[in-house]
Copies of this chain bind each other. A is one copy, B any other.
């Protein structure tokens, strides 16, 4: 692994990040790490005394500190914005997963598929007829790109992504392993003796810069399209039902279940493990707290919390109060007794 790991001296790093070495300019680090790391080849950042104390007592190799802070024990780079410098370092430390340009000899590409010359198709990928893969796109091993699909310029499908037919992925999208896009929406009709499957013949459309997490499922529409808007980010293990529409720049954390035909606006953020009822409507700029269950429409511009989700200011107090219910009930019983005594005393 060594040969594929980067390594910087502090003086090199200070120059790259726009900081100044405080000491030990030749000290070498290999990767950004958290302040509590015991990695002697790692470099962390601190912006508070609390984190500095954590770092001093950890085995971390070196630190990025604001000019006002000094480490008693660790080689240091001073930087006016340590957090920003650390973010730059994260970007520098990123190395792409290996994939060769062109089409791997084991990939099975249908003769009616269109692969841009600068796209990369990994081992054992399958691309079906009518599919098109854009410039610079990376299709990692074991991906299945169904007939009539399109993958936009510069998009990445990590290993083991499945696109059923007619799934359109915009430019600059990232689809993580195990994600399944375009499986049938869940539609059945009970006729009194049997569940009849409602054919699911629609599509899935992802706009630009969408990210889809590992093992997330986005169902095709019954008819029309299930749509994920520009810049929206979905975490792992999320269910997006058929005909759902999600707007721009929304961020949905892991394990959400979004019911069929639900509509979620722009810049919505949802915590982990949320549920949204079928046909539910969530307005723009809504925040939904983690583990909430949205069972009715949520007007835009507000925060919500709870199962069922209600405005967050009310919800956070209300759900915490559940623990007091047994006490509340015994106080109510006691009051009822006392009022009865008063009533009897009065009569």
A83 CB to nearest chain B CB (Å): 10
A51 sits at the interface (CB 8 A): no
Instruction: Produce 1/0 per residue, A268-305, CB < 8 A to B.
Output: 00011101011000000000001101010000000000
Q: Which chain B residues border A42 with CB–CB below 8 Å?
A: 223-224
Q: Does A321 contact B (CB under 8 A)?
A: yes
When the two chains form their complex, are residues A318 and B314 in contact, meaning their CB atoms are under 8 A apart? no
Q: Report B-chain residues with C-beta under 8 Å of the C-beta of A33.
A: 202, 223-224
What's the number of copies of this chain in the assembled complex?
3
Main secondary structure of the interface of A (DSSP, over half): loop
Which of A9-17, A18-26, A73-81, A138-146 faces chain B? A138-146
Q: Which of B91, B194, B200, B307 contacts A319 (CB 8 A)?
A: B307
Contacts of A187-204 to chain B: CB distance below 8 A: 188, 190, 194-195, 197-202
Measuring CB to CB, which residues of chain A are less than 8 angstroms from any residue of chain B? 1, 3-5, 31-34, 37, 39, 42, 44, 86-87, 90-91, 93-95, 97-98, 106, 108, 110, 122-124, 126, 128-130, 140-142, 144, 146-148, 158-160, 162, 164-166, 174, 176-178, 180, 183-184, 186, 188, 190, 194-195, 197-202, 211, 213-215, 217, 219, 221-224, 231, 233, 235-237, 239, 241, 243, 249, 251, 253-255, 257, 259, 267, 271-273, 275, 277-278, 290-291, 293, 295, 306-308, 310, 314-315, 317-326, 328-329, 331-332, 335-336, 338-339, 342-343, 345-346
